[in-house]
Amino acid sequence: MKFLCDEMLQRLGSWLRAAGYDTLIAQGGRSDYELLKQALAEDRLLITRDRKLLEHRRAPGTVILLDCNELDDCARELSQKLSINWLHQPFVRCMVCNSSLRPATENEAATLPEKIKSQIDSPLYCPSCQKVYWDGGHVDRMRIRLGKWQSEFNTDESAQADSSICAH
C-alpha cells in the first residue's frame, strides 16, 4: 500500500512514513481533483478529511475518508478501514521527504557529533536531504508508540476491514 495524505493529515502521514509506508503529503493549495489524479496515477490511497473528495466518480477504492482530529484517533480510524501494519518496516524512510534511507558512508557519518558517533553503530542516510539518521531516544519512543498502535488497533475485526474501502 502507498499513500497520499492531504495537508490536514500531515502528522498521520509522517507516522505512516515512520512505519515504513511510501507516503506523500500534499503541499499547499492543490485542488481535490489534482490530488485524486495523482493518487490514481501512482496507485496510492488518498487519505483525507475532505468529504467533497468522495463525490468524484473515481473516488471509490482510492479515497479513504477519516473523521478524526487527534493523531491517535486518526491512526485508529485508519486501522479500522485498512489493514495497516504499524510495524511494517519502521524507520526505513526519510521522515522529511519519504526517500528510502541507505546506510551512511564513513564520510557521511563523520558529520555527527563525537558523542553520538560513539553510541550508535549503523547510521542511515537520506540522499535527497543529505541528512543522517540514527537510532536514538526519539526513535525508541516512536517505536514504542508504533508497537502500541499495532497491538491496540489490529484486532481480528480490523483484519477484515479491507472490504470497507468502497463502502462510502
Interface with Zn ion (CB under 5 A): 94, 96-97, 99, 126, 128-129
Identify whether the C-beta of residue 65 lies closer than 8 Å to the C-beta of residue 51: yes
Of the two residues 99 and 150, which places its CB atom closer to Zn ion in the complex?
Answer: 99
Min separation Cβ 19 and Zn ion, Å? 16
Min separation Cβ 98 and Zn ion, Å? 7
CB crowding 86-119: b at 16 or more within 10 Å, else e: beeebbbbbbeebeebeebeeebbeebeeeeeee
Give the distance from CA 70 to its chain's centroid.
16
**Longest Cα separation, the chain:** 56
Min separation Cβ 166 and Zn ion, Å? 34
Identify whether the C-beta of residue 57 lies closer than 8 Å to the C-beta of residue 131: no
d(CA 53, CA 96): 26
Of the two residues 97 and 165, which places its CB atom closer to Zn ion in the complex?
Answer: 97
Determine the residue with CB nearest Zn ion.
94
Of the two residues 59 and 104, which places its CB atom closer to Zn ion in the complex?
Answer: 104
Of the two residues 10 and 155, which places its CB atom closer to Zn ion in the complex?
Answer: 10
Min separation Cβ 157 and Zn ion, Å? 36
d(CA 128, CA 98): 9
Of the two residues 17 and 44, which places its CB atom closer to Zn ion in the complex?
Answer: 17
Min separation Cβ 95 and Zn ion, Å? 8
Which H or E element spans position 131?
strand 131-133
